[in-house]
Chain A
Amino acid sequence: MKKPLHKHIGHQARKVHGRVTKYLLERDTMFATVWVFLFIIILGAIPLNLGVINPIKLGLKDFDSNDLSYSKLGKAEHTDIDTNIVIINIGHADREGIAYIIEKTATLEPKVMALDVVFDEARDPSKDSLLRETFKKNKNLVVAVKYQLDSSEKMIVTRNYFKDDAHQYGYVNFPNEDKETTRYFFPLKKTHDTSFTFFSSAILKFYDTVAYKKLIKKGDSKVMINYSRHTNQYLVINADDLLMNNVDSSAIKGKIALLAYVNTNPDDIEDKKFTPMNEKYAGKSHPDMNGIVIHANIISMALENNYIKKLPLWGNMLIAIFVCWLHMSFFVHYYLESHIWFHLVAKIAQVASAIFFMWLGIYLFDKYRLKVDMKMSLVVIVLAVDVIYFYEAWAVWMHKKFNFTTVFKPHHH
């Protein structure tokens, strides 16, 4: 009589379970797992940087599997527009134009205004005077500066000629190189005698003290940015519309008005940075997001309390050890009992596991904003197959020399 389907499935499931667990508690499985990690430590300790000749490693240097969720899986595509924030596109306005735009914005009574533009030196005196007066007049205006070390290695803020005329300023540096993806920021920078506030932190100080305190509590440490919105998920107002009274006052009143250069033309990369929201998640591409939109994302994250939690290193290591142990048990089973299928099964298991663990990382990131580094888990799955061969030789040698008990037999295949 033919078995019913559920019994057939149950039987197969028990078979797979048996293949994974049969050798799970064997001493060899555990030792082989340890050897995988010893290999990683030994390979990591080689003082040569072999990555320089490895195009895959170079290409994936800035890769994070979670970026896939933005570019291919539709994450953040339907996030609601953040009505707390309005971005005012200043276009290529000169200093006089910027002064007018600030004044016009101020008449619509935003709670805080922030200008993401650096002014390196004096230019036209009359236009400079206008901007200086505007900075002095508007107490709720935050201006941009950059921090750097001076010749005596002391941290200073610079790159804004009008800094001393502004009532508030914040630095706009991100802790990444120019061509790297912008993933982190420092809420503040501290030295032994002074501290400087990040641009977004300074804005929050005006707008929401609770959110500000929570952010500033993180101190001088890297905070990961939770990107939730593209440029068009913020209300972007062109300066022309603003100056021609084409803007409803309710859109700005009591809100955060961010003033900066914004454009959605993919060919225009002025003031654009690479972000995880880039359409291309690996390889060469164009920068995709204006700096002010990154600040808007940081502010949204702080206001919505949507910070990303990072699993600590020991947590990632524990996951990698567990994953390695399970895979080793499964591989040892096939290695000893169905060796003819070993390589085929191992390769299929590696691909299936890579897909599964990548999904798990993306799922945890999307659902619980938990960043789990799955790289180590993927590395151990790849190494486990090769280490079995070494381990077999080692176990047999140990057996001959010290009568070490092992499931591996000399020349068993």
Chain B
Amino acid sequence: MKKFQFLTLIILSAGIASAQDNSFLLYSFKGNVTVVENKVETKAKVGKTINKAASIKVASGSAVTLICNEAAMFTLTKAGNYPLSQFGDSCHISNNSVSANYVKYVWAQMTNSSGAPGSNRKAYMNTVGAVSRSINNIWIDPRLDTLNYSGGEFPLSWKSYADAKDFEFLLYNVSDISQPIYKTIVSKLKISVPSVAEKMKLGNTYFWTASVKGEENDELKVFNYVTTETFTKVLNNLKSQLSTFEAPAEQAYRIAFMLEDAHYLAEAYQYYTKAASLDSANVLYRSTLMSFKKDYEIK
């Protein structure tokens, strides 16, 4: 019994010791980030090694990327004061062997079926866009091109490959792309469509783009601000396409899927949400809604 207790003690001590060893490397940061060590606050510096007793202060609009134990990378983007001792889980590295992954990969490939479009939304929707020649620091998802919008909350989002704080959003009339009819500076990588729609007239088509502040992006995306009547016609058409019985959740999911395919993304979001709330036990509805929100940066 004593031997068993001794062994348990050694195992526990080893576990605690390994948990306490976490050290963090400040890999990169942008904005106002400070490190508090031994109650002394200093400006963050790239390449600094910080122990787990320290904490990191991230100001609004700033971000910091850390590497735990020289292997696990994670990023803090929300403003706040973060004691590093709370990031034990972020230091965890999965130890899946290459052999195990090989078995999983071969099995997945051999048993992979194309499936119904509705059960694999991403594979089905991955048919949009064309190649782009220009290289700039902003990447706009091709699925956001030719967006049809009649109402509802939805963001226009983009990705930045530059370490920039501010971005310029520009809206053009299709008849004149020399001067934007609306431009604004935003600090986030997205802008709310309703706030932009205020500058538009119903039934008209516009171009929009986003760029790092001070840079140009000539990749214009089409935005159709459609009337409620136009959308109602589309919706009624979709509803009438299936004559057999559908449960309300099933119908909402089908309509959401077809609206997304027709580039009515704000409206599709409402219907995906509706499907998930009508049948909250359905894993497909929930996972598709999560995936949709992730794809279009909906928080």
Contact = CB atoms under 8 A, between A and B. Distances in A.
Nearest to A79: B71
Interface in B50-100: 67, 69-73, 93-96, 98-99
Contact of B98 (A69, A86, A250): A69
A133 interface: no
A72 B105 contact: yes
A134 B98 CA distance: 46
7 residue pairs, one from A and one from B, having the closest CB atoms: A251-B47, A265-B161, A248-B48, A248-B45, A73-B101, A80-B70, A248-B47
B70 A263 contact: no
Interface in A232-264: 232, 235-238, 241, 245-248, 250-252, 263-264
A86 B137 contact: no
Contacts of A252: 47
A363 interface: yes
A78 B93 contact: yes
Contacts of A366: 98-99
Contact of B135 (A69, A241, A248, A268): A268
B50 to A, nearest CB: 10
A252 B71 CA distance: 19
A362 interface: yes
A363 B99 contact: yes
Contacts of B28: 236, 238, 241
A74 B98 contact: yes
A81 interface: yes
B98 A363 contact: yes
Contacts of B106: 355
B25 interface: yes
Interface string A52-92: 00000000000000001100111100111101001000000
Nearest to A72: B105
Nearest to A363: B99
Nearest to A245: B45
A86 B47 contact: yes
Contacts of A79: 71
A359 B102 CA distance: 7
B161 A247 contact: no
9 contacts: A80-B70, A81-B67, A81-B70, A246-B45, A248-B48, A250-B47, A268-B135, A362-B98, A363-B99
Interface string B23-34: 001111100000
A83 B101 contact: no
A278 to B, nearest CB: 16
Contact of A237 (B46, B72, B94): B46
A72 B26 CA distance: 29
Given A72-B101, A237-B47, A248 B26 contact: yes
A267 interface: yes
A392 to B, nearest CB: 33
Interface in B228-261: none
Nearest to B47: A251
A253 to B, nearest CB: 10
Given A83-B70, A251-B46, A268 B98 contact: no
B139 interface: yes
A307 to B, nearest CB: 19
Contact of A81 (B71, B139, B163): B71
A72 B94 CA distance: 15
A232 B99 contact: no
Given A250-B48, A359-B99, A363-B98, A268 B27 contact: no
B228 to A, nearest CB: 38
Contact of B46 (A72, A232, A247): A247
Contacts of B93: 78
Contact of A248 (B46, B69, B95, B137): B46
B10 to A, nearest CB: 26
B146 interface: no
Contacts of A68: 102, 105
Contacts of A74: 96, 98, 101
A215 B45 CA distance: 35
A17 B62 CA distance: 65
A180 to B, nearest CB: 23
A232 B73 contact: yes
Contacts of A86: 47
Given A83-B70, A251-B47, A363-B102, 5 more contacts: A79-B71, A81-B67, A86-B47, A252-B47, A363-B99
B49 interface: yes
Interface string B156-190: 00000101000000000000000000000000000
B94 to A, nearest CB: 8
Nearest to A83: B70
B137 A235 contact: no
A70 to B, nearest CB: 10
B43, B98, B161: residue with the most chain A Cβ atoms closer than 10 Å: B98
